[in-house]
């Protein structure tokens, strides 16, 4: 059967598809779609199969395929061989590479070729070279011993640092003592410098956490002063406008009276659910994430609840969710106010 997506909750990954013939709205989860990214949009057509869930007691989509989307298809990996002869060599070089063909855009992706008849760069063995020169202030000819490594792939030679052949470490007691003293002095200076740098880093880190903690406490106090002592306006006219224009993901505040307390939604993230009625008679379904925020205790019909969260359109008046703080700090924090206490 075929139908169109009529509602979709991107945060929770599910929505409803309207069957083309009967007009019945059927539950659909994103895992049943043949393409999961990007998520479906309202109005997109799909071909789907349904199944009846005995546990939940409802019909839901079992498998769905977009009618106006195609998934990128690729052919299997194939091995190709290509050979040519260098102008300065009679050796035929062979490569091994793979291709992936994208049937959606008609392009072929070629992997980097790998030589079939070459190995990793080889280096010649260590060689010892001697070089001598005479200092301008000495008649002694200084000789060096150094090694080279030759890279046959790029033709470059790597030279190790030279070592004197005609110089030795300090031999006399006085020279050794002077050498040891200089070395200890240098080591002490180095240790002192490292200690000073470590102290500076510790001071900077402690200062940062102190300032952050103070600012965070001020922010918390300021937020508490605003939310605890101020009850949001009814906002029923603005919420009715969002409903008539079928708006989605609009942050809004308001308050209403509890009309019905529903069972918790325990599929995925757990949500406490209840229905509020605004002063203009419009109803809202409140879905409060109790994995991230505290539950409203002893909630009963007739209780007044204020809210701040994202409005999602549905044909029964709308839904309010995101009534909690964002753990990642990327979304504006929502809340519920009940009996003078903030739940977020």
Comparing CA positions, the residue from 253, 264, 263, 242 lying closest to residue 314 is: 242
What is the signed CA dihedral for 214, 219, 221, 222, rounded to 10 degrees?
140
Please give the pLDDT value at position 77: 47
Residue listed under structure tokens 């002893």: 298
CA angle 42/48/52 to nearest 5° reads 110
Residue 281: pLDDT above 90?
yes
pLDDT digits (tens, 9 = 90+) for 32-63: 998 888 889 999 999 999 998 888 888 999 99
pLDDT bin (cut points 50, 70, 90) of residue 221 is very low
Please give the pLDDT value at position 96: 67
pLDDT digits (tens, 9 = 90+) for 87-142: 454 555 666 666 666 555 556 766 556 666 666 555 554 455 555 544 445 445 56
pLDDT average, residue stretch 17-38? 90
User: Over pLDDT 70: what percentage of the chain?
Assistant: 63
Residue extents of the structural domains in the chain: 2-66, 78-115, 127-164, 169-229, 236-343
Q: How far apart are CA 42 and CA 7, in angstroms?
A: 6
Please give the pLDDT value at position 226: 41
Please give the pLDDT value at position 207: 86
Distances in Å between the alpha carbon of 223 and those of 227, 229, 282?
A: 6, 10, 29
pLDDT digits (tens, 9 = 90+) for 61-86: 999 998 888 765 545 445 555 554 44
Left if phi > 0, otherwise alpha if psi is -120 to 50, otherwise beta: which for 184?
alpha
Distances in Å between the alpha carbon of 268 and those of 12, 88, 288, 313?
A: 8, 67, 13, 21
Q: How is domain 236-343 classified at the CATH fold level? A: OB fold (Dihydrolipoamide Acetyltransferase, E2P) (2.40.50)
What tokens appear for 245 in the block? 């224009």
Q: How far apart are CA 53 and CA 57, in angstroms?
A: 6
* Common-topology check for domains 2-66 and 236-343: yes
Whether CATH 2.40.50.140 fits 2-66 = yes
Residue 6: pLDDT above 80?
yes
């Amino acid at each position: 059967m075929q139908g169109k997506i009529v509602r979709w909750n991107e945060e929770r990954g599910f929505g409803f598809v309207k069957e083309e013939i009967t007009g019945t709205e059927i539950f659909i989860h994103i895992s049943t779609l043949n393409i999961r990214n990007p998520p479906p949009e309202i109005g997109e057509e799909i071909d789907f199969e349904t199944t009846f869930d005995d546990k939940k007691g409802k019909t839901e989509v079992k498998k769905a395929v977009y009618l106006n989307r195609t998934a990128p298809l690729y052919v299997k990996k194939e091995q190709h061989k290509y050979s040519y002869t260098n102008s300065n060599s009679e050796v035929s070089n062979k490569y091994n590479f793979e291709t992936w063909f994208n049937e959606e855009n008609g392009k072929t992706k070629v992997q980097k070729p790998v030589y079939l008849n070459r190995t990793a760069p080889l280096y010649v063995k260590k060689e010892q070279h001697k070089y001598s020169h005479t200092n301008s202030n000495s008649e002694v000819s200084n000789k060096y011993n150094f090694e080279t490594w030759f890279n046959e792939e790029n033709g470059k030679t790597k030279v190790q640092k030279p070592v004197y052949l005609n110089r030795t470490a300090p031999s006399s007691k006085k020279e050794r003592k002077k050498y040891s003293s200089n070395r200890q002095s240098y080591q002490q200076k180095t240790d002192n410098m490292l200690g000073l740098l470590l102290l500076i880093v510790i001071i900077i880190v402690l200062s940062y956490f102190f300032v952050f903690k103070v600012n965070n406490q001020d922010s918390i106090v300021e937020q508490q002063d605003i939310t605890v002592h101020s009850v949001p306006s009814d906002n029923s006219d603005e919420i009715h406008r969002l409903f008539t224009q079928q708006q989605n993901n609009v942050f809004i505040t308001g308050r209403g009276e509890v009309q019905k307390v529903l069972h918790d939604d325990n599929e995925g993230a757990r949500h406490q659910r209840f229905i509020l009625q605004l002063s203009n008679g419009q109803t809202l379904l409140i879905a409060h994430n109790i994995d991230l925020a505290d539950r409203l205790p002893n909630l009963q019909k007739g209780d007044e609840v204020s809210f701040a969260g994202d409005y999602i359109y549905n044909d029964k008046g709308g839904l309010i969710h995101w009534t909690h703080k964002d753990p990642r700090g990327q979304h504006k924090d929502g809340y519920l106010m009940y009996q003078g206490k903030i739940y977020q």
